[in-house]
Structure 1
């Protein structure tokens, strides 16, 4: 029941009271003239009184419903019907409707878009505009997996043999019959386990039935969250507590092979390339935090010109002829370079997948649905010396050196 309906009922009540008043005046006038046969008019007055009582009952019921919703129709906190019924004019009229008196209620309110508990507040009638779908936060770009060699496995572990030592004694045979030089090789066995990365969400069957796109949205967010965690693990996994043994954990620490007295961070990255090249593993890329790459691109020469490219360039980020991968999985101020395609490999045991189930007894009883995202993989870092890591730090020449 709205305020408009209350006003209509109040208007009906006023019409009914006006009608009773008119008939009461007519009855009083005819009695004054000494007319005797007035039974028909008295019946009409009685019917009008009954009709007025019916309108008043409907108005009272409407006011109670509106009160239960916490609504109010006037600035004083009283409904229109309440004000009419409680007015002195109505009380006098109700005592003797045939007396010729009448009851009147003036309604004065400016209708506005306000939603306050006051007369004229019609803001609740204006529906809100609701945009479809869900506005998702931006996803971080995932890149590290694309740098690594790919593989699959049907086992729960990867075992490989790698060379751990080489004694090169190659040389001349001094003269015929002399013993030739003997070289040695040393091998070691390495095993890496397949790790499981997974997470899930629960939702009621009702909301999944009623919101068509919700299940696909949840699946997409679960998949992205899984890959985001994988990206960080490929770099930073510790190898303990079920984690992957990440590349940064095993990489070789930067040590300037050229022993320069000074260098910039751009020079430092070139020296890291040199260190990997000396280990016979030509690097195929850099991994940097986006903040550090921005600092490098903004470096200028003595004339204010950008050293790396120019602001209008559309070329992909490159440095010293190698691709630069920007990821927030790399801590700002750190770098990694190396032969990602030769020195390490990902083995997928179970590709990333989504499963939906209600098989859990408790879920079945509660009408819940479990949406699970899971993958199983192993990371083999064949040659730690193929990867060079370090802190981005320029080196200044020693004063007086």
Structure 2
């Protein structure tokens, strides 16, 4: 007789007789799993329990191995080697812009542009001849559409003090703690008590003696509204069919434009028709070199002025974590040299990608900051950026005579405002010496 592989049963009947796979077809892992599950759930099973449990462990291991193999396969297919000229990866079509998978191989939108180009709304808009109007918001939100007319809005009241965490931002908005608002009205308590050193009366007391009372504490209830920041650009119907161009418009012009305007609002907004700016908030500190004889007391270099301003923030018991400067002022700091012509701040001018830092502070440069001044402070301690709406992208052909010109409109907007709840955490810096 020839050698035949032993065929293992995939299950057993109620009377204990084995069930063998159909001739010519091997049982799948799913079939084997279901058969073993049925036997484990059968209270009348009188077969070899040890063998059944061993088989259950084997099937579980095989299923887990298959899952790991599938995950590795999807992750490998998502990778593109540098310079790969092939249009396909792993036998599948390469993902177009906006379809990049995450580290587990699962596709997810990373930016507002990616969420927009992969949305079902854009696909429907294109298939409908690019007529009408639609919007896509890049932020997880509850299903359904809720308006102020269909559901009363609750004011967002900010509790407590926001903890401080280090950050390495590229924009001023990234320095702040960021939270989500549920309504259109923002209420928060602004601490107007001033520096902690003025009201903190904590002391060691003798046994039986009266304990000191700290204070006075003063708070103002600030009520404001979330502001809408928006702008739009025209785009041809042909460009709207190209995902690469569409993402370039959204990321390169619209989204960046919103962030640029947000930076200006966070710094200098008037707090009424605009967002609340930190520099326009009453109660922030200030530092400027004292007046003196210009012949006897030269003006401090800007890096020295920043160090003294940092000390002022520390004495107020609100340690600074960052400073916002005009690019011209940061240029002066980086180009400052000693008597031997050596740069004081940077050691190598070739390392342009190094993080911008001075005296342990993260540096953010912005043209929204007036040259000759700077804003130094504990940004996460002193303010919170509240956002009601993420970046929302809208597209329509219903604008002026654009329909007949084969031109569409892409609009981007977001709603947010800044709660400056601890003004004493900030120090406005003036690099010029005060006049007598």
TM range (shorter): 0.5 to 0.7
Give the distance between the partners of 2:386 and 2:326, measured in 1 at CA: 26
Higher helix share: 1
Partner of 1:385: 424
Q: 2:272 aligns with which of 221, 240, 257?
A: 240
Distance 1:281 1:361, change over 3 A: same
Distance 1:395 1:264, change over 3 A: farther
> Does the Cα contact within 8 Å between 1:337 and 1:388 map onto a contact in 2?
yes
Give the distance between the partners of 2:356 and 2:235, measured in 1 at CA: 42
| Post-superposition CA distance 1:352-389 (Å, at most 9, x none) | 12111246798768865332101011211111121111
SS of residue paired to 1:249: coil
Q: 1:345 aligns with which of 384, 390, 409?
A: 384
Partner of 1:335: 374
Give the distance between the partners of 1:374 and 1:329, measured in 2 at CA: 20
> Does the Cα contact within 8 Å between 1:256 and 1:275 map onto a contact in 2?
no
- List gaps (5 residues or longer) in structure 1: 1-140
Give the distance between the partners of 2:256 and 2:206, measured in 1 at CA: 65
| Post-superposition CA distance 1:261-302 (Å, at most 9, x none) | 663322211111111112211000111122211211222222
Q: Which region of structure 1 is more displaced relative to structure 2, 305-314 or 326-335?
A: 305-314
> Does the Cα contact within 8 Å between 1:162 and 1:189 map onto a contact in 2?
yes
- Structure 2 residue 326 is matched with structure 1 residue 293: no
Partner of 1:267: 304
> Does the Cα contact within 8 Å between 1:142 and 1:231 map onto a contact in 2?
no
Give the distance between the partners of 2:320 and 2:210, measured in 1 at CA: 40
Partner of 1:147: 175
- Give the alignment's Cα RMSD to 1 decimal: 3.6
SS of residue paired to 2:229: strand
SS of residue paired to 2:280: helix
1:153 CA displacement: 1.0
TM-score relative to the length of structure 1? 0.54
Distance 1:351 1:271, change over 3 A: same
- Structure 2 residue 256 is matched with structure 1 residue 224: yes
Give the distance between the partners of 1:293 and 1:180, measured in 2 at CA: 48
Select the structure of larger CA radius of gyration.
Answer: 1
Partner of 1:164: 192
Q: Which has the higher contact order (CA 8 A, sep 6+)?
A: 2
Aligned length in residues: 254
Give the distance between the partners of 1:167 and 1:335, measured in 2 at CA: 27
Give the distance between the partners of 1:299 and 1:372, measured in 2 at CA: 44
